[in-house]
């Protein structure tokens, strides 16, 4: 009887939590993604309505008059000053002299902390700025991925291309098919692009769908024969039969060749798509069979109110 009571109490606690979680997850839909992306358009419509309202225009005109009065007084003060302007100027100058040293130190700390994701990997892999001479494909010879030399070798590849297609599932209502392309050169400059087809089951035989993607110019800022890091910027986009939008995207990623025939990689995308924030993190494991590799990975995707985690598997080829 005691066990039954505890079981009943546990169900009373867990079931409402699960139901509320399901309600929250209802916002993690493709329609919720569209609403988040189109937020700016709704705001524009609201502003248009305000502009068409005479009363609202009057309030906004009063605000502009107050702003003009404030800036006029500020300009007059700057040009003609007042009785205690000089005292305040000398006092602020002394204060600036005292805080200049602290400000410089704080600025250096902030700058170095901001650049740490770039400077730390470069130091860890001991990147000395040598040429990257790509292998025919990973583990095709004694090097895992590339041979680093002070001068470029003519018998090595100048351009490397990677293609990957993955199927992802969140084991609920949403599935995703992703195609990724990475073009890389000996000179460290490259192009990274991805295309995602998202599908959501709405019940019965109906479903919703949309396309997501990004295209980025990247720079391989740290490299060794087994490790490489890259970063760059570009644009993100979303499109379907109901509309489309674009935004800016920042990417940061890398590869680590564990030893023949294993490799792990990761990618982080941060950006803006319409009025919605964009966050994507993906990591995966690859098993090479000559040029072909089989992948198993995890991906987290957030676009506005849309929030989903996927388990993915796929096939890629390097050439």
Taking the CA atoms of 58, 63, 65 and 68 in sequence, report the sign of the dihedral they define.
Answer: negative
Average pLDDT of span 238-255: 96
CA 231/CA 5 separation, integer angstroms: 56
pLDDT: is 64 or 19 the higher one?
64
Which segment of 11-25, 52-66, 118-132, 171-185 scores lowest on mean pLDDT?
A: 11-25
Residues whose CB falls within 8 Å of the CB of residue 238, separated by 6 or more in sequence, listed in order: 33, 34, 37, 210, 211, 212, 213, 244, 245, 246, 273, 274, 303
Percent of the chain with pLDDT strictly greater than 90: 55
Whole-model pTM? 0.73
Q: What is the pLDDT of residues 262-293, one digit of tens each?
A: 999 999 999 999 999 999 999 999 999 999 99
Going by C-beta distance under 8 Å and a sequence separation of 6 or more, which residues neighbour residue 224?
125, 126, 127, 148
| Two tokens, residue 43 | 């705001």
CA-closest candidate to residue 21, choices 236, 307, 299: 307
Confidence of residue 215 (pLDDT cuts 50, 70, 90): very high
> What is the DSSP annotation of 214-236?
EEEEEEEEEE-SSEEEEEEEEEE
User: Which tens digits make up the pLDDT trace of 80-120?
Assistant: 445 454 555 455 555 655 566 666 766 677 777 778 899 89
């Amino acid at each position: 009887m005691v066990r039954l009571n505890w079981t009943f109490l546990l169900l009373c606690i867990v079931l409402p939590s699960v139901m509320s979680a399901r309600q929250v997850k209802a916002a993690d839909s493709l329609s919720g993604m569209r609403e988040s992306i189109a937020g700016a358009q709704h705001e524009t419509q609201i502003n248009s309505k305000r502009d068409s309202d005479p009363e609202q225009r009057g309030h906004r005109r009063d605000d502009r008059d107050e702003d003009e009065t404030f800036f006029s007084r500020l300009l007059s003060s700057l040009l003609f000053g007042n009785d205690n302007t000089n005292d305040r100027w000398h006092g602020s100058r002394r204060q600036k002299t005292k805080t200049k040293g602290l400000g410089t130190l704080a600025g250096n700390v902030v700058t170095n902390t901001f650049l740490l994701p770039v400077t730390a990997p470069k130091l860890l892999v001991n990147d000395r700025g040598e040429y990257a001479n790509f292998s025919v494909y990973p583990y095709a010879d004694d090097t895992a991925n590339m041979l680093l030399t002070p001068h470029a070798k003519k018998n090595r590849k100048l351009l490397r291309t990677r293609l990957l297609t993955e199927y992802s599932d969140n084991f609920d209502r949403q599935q995703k098919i992703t195609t990724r392309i990475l073009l890389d050169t000996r000179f460290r400059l490259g192009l990274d692009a991805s295309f995602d087809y998202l599908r959501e089951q709405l019940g019965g035989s109906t479903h919703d769908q949309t396309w997501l993607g990004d295209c980025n110019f990247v720079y391989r800022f740290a490299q060794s024969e087994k490790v490489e890091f890259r970063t760059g910027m570009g644009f993100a986009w979303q499109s379907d039969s109901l509309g489309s939008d674009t935004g800016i995207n920042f990417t940061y990623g890398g590869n680590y060749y564990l030893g023949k025939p294993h490799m792990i990689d990761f990618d982080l995308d941060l950006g803006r798509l319409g009025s919605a924030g964009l966050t994507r993190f993906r990591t995966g494991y690859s098993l090479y069979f000559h040029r072909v590799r089989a992948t198993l990975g995890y991906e987290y995707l957030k676009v506005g109110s849309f929030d989903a985690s996927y388990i993915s598997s796929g096939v890629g080829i390097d050439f």
